Each structure stands twice: as C-alpha cells, then as structure tokens.
C-alpha cells in the first residue's frame, strides 16, 4: 500500500470513528465540565484520536484490507468508546491542570460577588444527588458516573480508569451504598426526623 493509500485509509477510519464517538464524548465531557471547556477538550480529544488512530481498538487495527475492495466495517461503540473515554479523561485532566490557577481565581471572584442561597427553594431538583456525588472521592465519583451516565459495564469502566474489573465492582458497590445512605439521611431530615448524635437506635 502506498503512502497516499495509507493516508486515505487512516482518514476514512477516523471519519467512521468520529461518527460513532463524537456525541457520546461530548455528553461525557459536558457532565464533567462547563460547555466551553467541554468543547475545547473534545477538540483536543479528537486530535489525539487522529494522531493515535492506529491504536484505537476495533476494525482497521493491524494489517489492513484493501481500502477499495475490502473497506473496514463501521466501529462498534462497545469496542471503541471505553478506549476513547480514557483519552477524553486524560485530556480533561490535562486541561484542568493547565487551567487550574485561572479557574480558582475566577471561582473566588464569583464567590465574593454572590450571596449565599436563602433557602431550599433555591436548590435544583438534583442538588441532593450532586451533593452526595461530591462527597465521594474523585475516582469513586468517576466510576459511578461512568456506570450511571455512560452506562458502561465494570470491565469497560476498568478500561477507562486503568483499574481492574474487580476493583471497579468493589468501588461501585461501596459508592452506591454511600450514596444511598446519604440520600436516605437527606430524605429523613426533609420529612422532619432529626439525626441522632451517635449510633441510630433503630
């Protein structure tokens, strides 16, 4: 295969990959970052995918069929998305590290200009859930979000995070118990029950 044919094949594979992963990656990033940052990181993620297109799992990896007589099949989301989520996660972490100081300054300025909320009515419907998620460790929160929002199985979450499937299952089980306990306490408080200072008598 000539260099030009190889380039065309890589371009065709990237275009097929982009059709499958752009929207899920955009949703993944929007759930973890503001719209502007999500757009920037999505662009960076797609650039990395283009540069590493030969490393992306799925059809077209390894020895290639003839691009005319044997075109690659479209990639399966189950094959490529966990790997691509891992790339997006790394790009987002890099962007946050690079932009951390500026973001912290902006957050401090915003806090000084905003008044604290006056009551529960100011909270969104999902404020308790977001607060409970925020109480988890960063990795546990990521595992829960990948499971609940991206609907990944533990083995796929393991591929995104670099953990083993068993470690993901354990973290997911413990995190769901913590979330249930915290949300249960919030429901009890809202219904008028006071929390005990020590161990519950019930």
Q: How far is CA 167 from the centre of its chain?
A: 18
Read off the DSSP letter of residue 30. Answer: H
Contact 187, 195 (CB under 8 A): no
pLDDT at 75: 82
Read off the DSSP letter of residue 53. Answer: G
Q: Is 120-190 in CATH node 3.40.50.720? A: no
**Residue 31, C-beta contacts closer than 8 angstroms, at least 6 positions apart:** 145, 149
pLDDT at 115: 47
pTM flag (> 0.75): no
> Could you tell me the fold of the domain covering 1-114?
Rna Polymerase Sigma Factor; Chain: A (1.10.1740)
Contact 25, 41 (CB under 8 A): no
pLDDT at 192: 57
pLDDT at 47: 96
Q: What are phi and psi of 6, to 5 degrees?
A: -65, -45
Quick one: tokens of 184? 């249960």
- pLDDT by residue for the chain (202 residues), tens only, comes to 688 888 899 999 999 999 999 999 999 999 999 898 899 999 999 999 999 999 998 765 554 444 444 556 778 889 999 999 999 999 999 988 876 655 555 555 545 544 444 444 444 456 777 788 888 899 999 998 899 888 899 999 999 999 999 999 999 999 888 888 887 776 666 655 544 444 333 3
| 135-151 residues labelled b (16+ CB within 10 A) or e (exposed) | ebeeebbbbbbbbeebe
pLDDT at 151: 86
Please report, for the chain, the start and end positions of each structural domain, with discontinuous segments joined by +.
1-114, 120-190
Contact 78, 156 (CB under 8 A): yes
Quick one: tokens of 88? 């997006």
Contact 159, 128 (CB under 8 A): no
pLDDT at 63: 44
Residue reference for tokens 């905003």: 114
Q: What is d(CA 84, CA 45) in angstroms, rounded to the nearest whole number?
A: 8
């Amino acid at each position: 295969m000539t260099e030009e044919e190889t380039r065309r094949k890589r371009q065709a594979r990237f275009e097929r990959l982009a059709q499958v992963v752009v929207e899920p990656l955009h949703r993944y990033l929007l759930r973890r970052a503001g719209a502007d940052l999500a757009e920037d990181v999505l662009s960076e993620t797609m650039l990395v995918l283009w540069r590493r297109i030969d490393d992306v799992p799925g059809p077209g990896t390894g020895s290639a069929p003839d691009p005319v007589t044997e075109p690659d099949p479209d990639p399966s989301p189950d094959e490529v998305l966990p790997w691509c989520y891992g790339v997006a996660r790394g790009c987002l972490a890099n962007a946050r590290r690079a932009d951390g100081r500026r973001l912290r300054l902006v957050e401090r300025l915003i806090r000084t200009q905003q008044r604290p909320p006056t009551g529960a009515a100011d909270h969104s419907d999902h404020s308790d859930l977001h607060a409970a998620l925020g109480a988890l460790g960063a990795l546990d929160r990521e595992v829960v979000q990948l499971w609940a929002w991206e609907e990944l199985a533990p083995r796929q979450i393991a591929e995104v995070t670099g953990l083993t499937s068993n470690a993901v299952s354990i973290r997911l089980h413990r995190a769901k118990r913590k979330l249930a306990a915290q949300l249960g306490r919030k429901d009890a408080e809202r219904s008028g029950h006071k929390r005990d200072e020590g161990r519950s008598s019930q």
